[in-house]
Amino acid sequence: DSADYDREVKSVCPYCGVGCQLSFKIKDDKIAWVDGVDGPANENRLCVKGRFGFDYIDHPHRLTTPLIRRDDAPAKGLNVDPANLSTHFREATWDEALDAAANGLRGRGAEIAGLGSAKCSNEEAYLFQKLIRQAFKHNNVDHCTRLCHASSVAALLENVGSGAVTATFNEIENADVAILIGCNPAENHPVAASYFKQFTKRGGKLIIMDPRGQAMKRHAEHMLQFRPGTDVAMLNAIMNVIVEEGLYDEQYIKGYTENWEAMKTHLADFPPEKMAELCGIDAQTLRVVAREFAGAKAGMIFWGMGISQHIHGTDNSRCLISLALMTGQIGRPGAGLHPLRGQNNVQGASDAGLIPMFLPDYQSVEDDGVRSAFTEVWKSDDFSNQKGLTTVEMIDAIDAGQVKGMYILGENPAMSDPDVEHARAAFAKLDCMVVQDIFLTETANFADVIFPASAWAEKTGTATNTNRQVQMGRPAVSPPGDAREDWWITTELAKRLGLNWDYTHPKQVFNEMKQNMKSLDNITWERLEQAAVTYPSLSPTDPGQPIVFGDGFPRSDGRARFTPAQVTAPAEVPDADFPMILTTGRQLEHWHTGSMTRRASVLDWAEPEANASLHPKTLRKMGVKAGDMITIETRRGAIQIMARADRAVSEDMVFVPFAYVEASANVLTNPKLDPYGKIPEFKFAACRVAPA
Ligand code: SF4
């Protein structure tokens, strides 16, 4: 009822990459409730996080004043009580805190590394990478894409020439077959999942492939619950059938691709009968699925971190790209490749250059012409032509004494990095750690200077969702106390580091970004104030292109490439000491490291306690009941956590969400990296489980 609120502000959900548009209803300068609005990705729908997960912004733990570590603070560790910061930090003015941060970071070149944030706006991501490159003259800047879809992006750039989706997820309404692999959209992209369910209701065939079961299973024609880590074997077997049975699209392959003969030869080694035992899916099912996808009039492939978070994550994505290419399922209505993005602005933060090897729009730092185009706009000197350190490499560089200071904005690597005790120990060694966030995160425990920042509902800025839709975020309320918008904080720090910055509004930043980002051609701030625009937009009135690559690919020869993938075992396989498989991920109610959702009252009420999912038979064998505490141990460490019975996991597997500090899943995970995407193997580690 409009009488129940004073005003409303339209913005975008702060959580997942679906990018639902919503309306904040505000009463007495507080968000009273949230409604969905008619955005291009959600058409009024919201999930439980978007609808009920907003009151974290009023939580008493909000940081409201700049903080500086006290001279007499205890040794750095995960030891600060968020309700009593004065044991470790003293309150400071903005001038004091900004000066302290600048003095700690200034003049240290490649000894400084930066982690920006996919929770911030495009403009804030752009400013962050610019600060690291302009102030420190190198490229040690990354963000959570490294832990999420870096391997997907590596494979997409390599083989189709662009790291973004080729079709929006809403295009599924024009498809007749869709594959969901390594993703659990009912929990992680719930509004996208509602479109996937509609697709099956009107007769579309859904093929789900995942080592874990999931709620979408009951809507699926096929559920291939394959053995963890055998993605390449299974996908090569499916493609083998398409080749052997002549089901490929010869005309498309000839017209738009390269390296087909090598791919065909490679696939001959992967008949389903040979791969069935390895991947745990019988040969006949692999054949049926291959025929159904190859026979689709229009087919889409969606994937998530079950594909990307492996040491063979890039190979997994290469297989999916090859499957779409050989069947001609790209560039038409209802056809395409769609890695479902995690955070609300991980697509935009990547586009804006928060990546150690790329400037904005994936332009290589190694290209002299590219760097000079940026330094001309920035009116600054050249910077390094060497790729910078990635997220996990930064931790190793701290250990090696190469990195001595960090600026971290809105990320929580002390919870999200693999082998996280190692990362925490590394942060304790830094000479200067500057953290900008809305709460005293686990990472901020280790900080020397803390900047109190703005939540999404408190800021102006654009964000780009999984569909390449650029949307305007608007401030519903003001940041509390002395907290400030992130673009303002980064600008003030830049000035103290001697940079010539004079931004007074994110619109200025957006206009600067446009000068070297072709993806923003025809997209203006004024247009975004009216409506979302999907990039690429071909004219000042074009709302954007939901489908790309209908007529060739942005590679040097205009052709996409088949890159064969070999089967690689996970970095750590189960053995007598650690006989089970650990896999990690998210839950519907909790977002990433839990810093926001565990402080959102409804979400915390719905899922208050750390829990691990095991098959009921596994629990019985251990003599453990659901609700009992268990110990999970790997070669990195051990946690104690409540057991939950869940038939979705196989008997040799345990699933642990990574949102809970009291039972940090990443104490257990393996930091081994995919060699191309540099993404850790969060989805597979050898573990043992016992009653606590
Ligand atoms: Fe927010 Fe994602 Fe839920 Fe939409 S689906 S309301 S973007 S968390």
Contact 466, 17 (CB under 8 A): yes
Angle between helices 122-136 and 368-378 (to 10 degrees): 100
Contact 651, 617 (CB under 8 A): yes
Mean pLDDT of the chain: 97
The string of pLDDT tens digits covering residues 252-306 is 999 999 999 999 999 999 999 999 999 999 999 999 999 999 999 999 999 999 9
Atom of ligand 1 at shortest range from CA of 191: 5
Atom of ligand 1 at shortest range from CA of 344: 7
Residue 239's closest CA among 210, 260, 270, 261?
Answer: 270
Mutate to test the pocket of ligand 1, among 24, 46, 119 (most ligand atoms within 8 A of CB): 46
Dist CA 496 CA 234 (whole Å)? 54
Residue 144 confidence (pLDDT): 87
Q: What angle do CA 415, 418, 424 make, to 5 degrees?
A: 50
Dist CA 509 CA 142 (whole Å)? 20
Average pLDDT over residues 378-397: 96
Residue 429 confidence (pLDDT): 97
Q: Enter the tokens of residue 378.
A: 């920035």
Angle between helices 150-159 and 313-326 (to 10 degrees): 40
Burial 532-564 (b: 16+ CB within 10 A, else e): bbbbbbeeeeeebbbbbbeeebebeeebbbbbb
Q: Is 463 in the pocket of ligand 1 (CB under 6 A)?
A: no
Distance 484 CA to ligand 1 centre (A): 25
What are residue 167's DSSP bridge partners?
547
What are residue 473's DSSP bridge partners?
461
pLDDT band at 684 (very low <50, low <70, confident <90, very high): very high
Q: Is 444 left (phi over 0), alpha (psi -120 to 50) or beta?
A: alpha
pLDDT band at 145 (very low <50, low <70, confident <90, very high): confident
Mutate to test the pocket of ligand 1, among 10, 12, 13 (most ligand atoms within 8 A of CB): 13
Q: Is 359 left (phi over 0), alpha (psi -120 to 50) or beta?
A: beta
Closest protein CA for atom 1 of ligand 1: 50
Helices (runs of H) and strands (runs of E) counted in the chain: 23, 30
Q: Is 603 in the pocket of ligand 1 (CB under 6 A)?
A: no
pLDDT band at 557 (very low <50, low <70, confident <90, very high): very high
What are residue 89's DSSP bridge partners?
69
Say which residues have a Cβ less than 8 Å from residue 614's Cβ, sequence separation at least 6.
630, 643, 644, 645, 646, 649, 653, 654, 655, 689
The string of pLDDT tens digits covering residues 410-465 is 999 999 999 999 999 999 999 999 999 999 999 999 999 999 999 999 999 999 99
Percent helix, strand and coil across the chain, each rounded to 5? Answer: 35, 20, 45
Q: Is 49 in the pocket of ligand 1 (CB under 6 A)?
A: yes
Side-chain half-sphere CA neighbours of 485 within 13 A:
24
Predicted confidence (pLDDT) at residue 148 exceeds the cutoff of 90: no
Contact 245, 291 (CB under 8 A): yes
Contact 151, 178 (CB under 8 A): no
Residue 2 confidence (pLDDT): 65
Predicted confidence (pLDDT) at residue 211 exceeds the cutoff of 80: yes
The string of pLDDT tens digits covering residues 225-242 is 999 999 999 999 999 999
Q: Is 679 in the pocket of ligand 1 (CB under 6 A)?
A: no
Q: Is 20 in the pocket of ligand 1 (CB under 6 A)?
A: yes
Atom of ligand 1 at shortest range from CA of 18: 7
Contact 487, 127 (CB under 8 A): yes
Average pLDDT over residues 47-60: 97
Q: Is 50 in the pocket of ligand 1 (CB under 6 A)?
A: yes
Closest protein CA for atom 2 of ligand 1: 16
Mutate to test the pocket of ligand 1, among 54, 119, 188, 189 (most ligand atoms within 8 A of CB): 189
Average pLDDT over residues 160-164: 93
Q: Is 639 in the pocket of ligand 1 (CB under 6 A)?
A: no
Dist CA 11 CA 125 (whole Å)? 18
- First-to-final CA distance of the chain: 51
φ, ψ of residue 435 in degrees (nearest 5) = -120, 130
Q: For the chain, what's the residue count?
A: 692
φ, ψ of residue 271 in degrees (nearest 5) = -65, 145
Residue 1 confidence (pLDDT): 62
Contact 295, 170 (CB under 8 A): no
Q: Is 567 in the pocket of ligand 1 (CB under 6 A)?
A: no
Dist CA 263 CA 270 (whole Å)? 11
Dist CA 447 CA 434 (whole Å)? 6
Residue 146 confidence (pLDDT): 86
What are residue 633's DSSP bridge partners?
638, 688
182: how many CB neighbours lie within 10 A of its CB?
27
Residue 433's closest CA among 680, 64, 145, 67?
Answer: 67
Closest protein CA for atom 5 of ligand 1: 191
Closest protein CA for atom 4 of ligand 1: 20
Q: Is 16 in the pocket of ligand 1 (CB under 6 A)?
A: yes
Q: Is the ipTM above a cut-off of 0.90?
A: yes
φ, ψ of residue 406 in degrees (nearest 5) = -140, 145
Q: Is 47 in the pocket of ligand 1 (CB under 6 A)?
A: yes
Residue 242 confidence (pLDDT): 98
φ, ψ of residue 472 in degrees (nearest 5) = -90, 125
Average pLDDT over residues 661-686: 96
Q: Is 263 in the pocket of ligand 1 (CB under 6 A)?
A: no
Atom of ligand 1 at shortest range from CA of 15: 8
Dist CA 508 CA 457 (whole Å)? 20
pLDDT above 90 covers a percentage of the chain that reads: 97
DSSP assignment of 363-408: EETT-HHHHHHHHHHHT------S----HHHHHHHHHTTS--EEEE
Side-chain half-sphere CA neighbours of 127 within 13 A:
31
Distance 199 CA to ligand 1 centre (A): 19
Closest protein CA for atom 3 of ligand 1: 47
Distance 345 CA to ligand 1 centre (A): 12
Residue 403 confidence (pLDDT): 98
The string of pLDDT tens digits covering residues 456-509 is 999 999 999 999 999 999 999 999 999 999 999 999 999 999 999 999 999 999
Please give the single-letter amino acid code of residue 588.
L
Distance 109 CA to ligand 1 centre (A): 39
Average pLDDT over residues 512-528: 98
In Å, how far are 67, 424, 507, 522, 548 from 541, measured between CA atoms? 47, 49, 20, 8, 18
The string of pLDDT tens digits covering residues 572-623 is 999 999 999 999 999 999 999 999 999 999 999 999 999 999 999 999 999 9
Distance 12 CA to ligand 1 centre (A): 9
Dist CA 253 CA 457 (whole Å)? 47
In Å, how far are 213, 465, 529, 538 from 647, measured between CA atoms? 8, 33, 47, 49
Residue 151's closest CA among 554, 674, 560?
Answer: 674
Contact 20, 36 (CB under 8 A): yes
Q: Enter the tokens of residue 248.
A: 């490929």
Query: Taking the mean position of all CA atoms in its chain, how far away is CA 105?
Result: 28
Q: Is 191 in the pocket of ligand 1 (CB under 6 A)?
A: yes
Say which residues have a Cβ less than 8 Å from residue 562's Cβ, sequence separation at least 6.
159, 257, 258, 259, 260, 262, 263, 322, 325, 326
Dist CA 435 CA 424 (whole Å)? 14
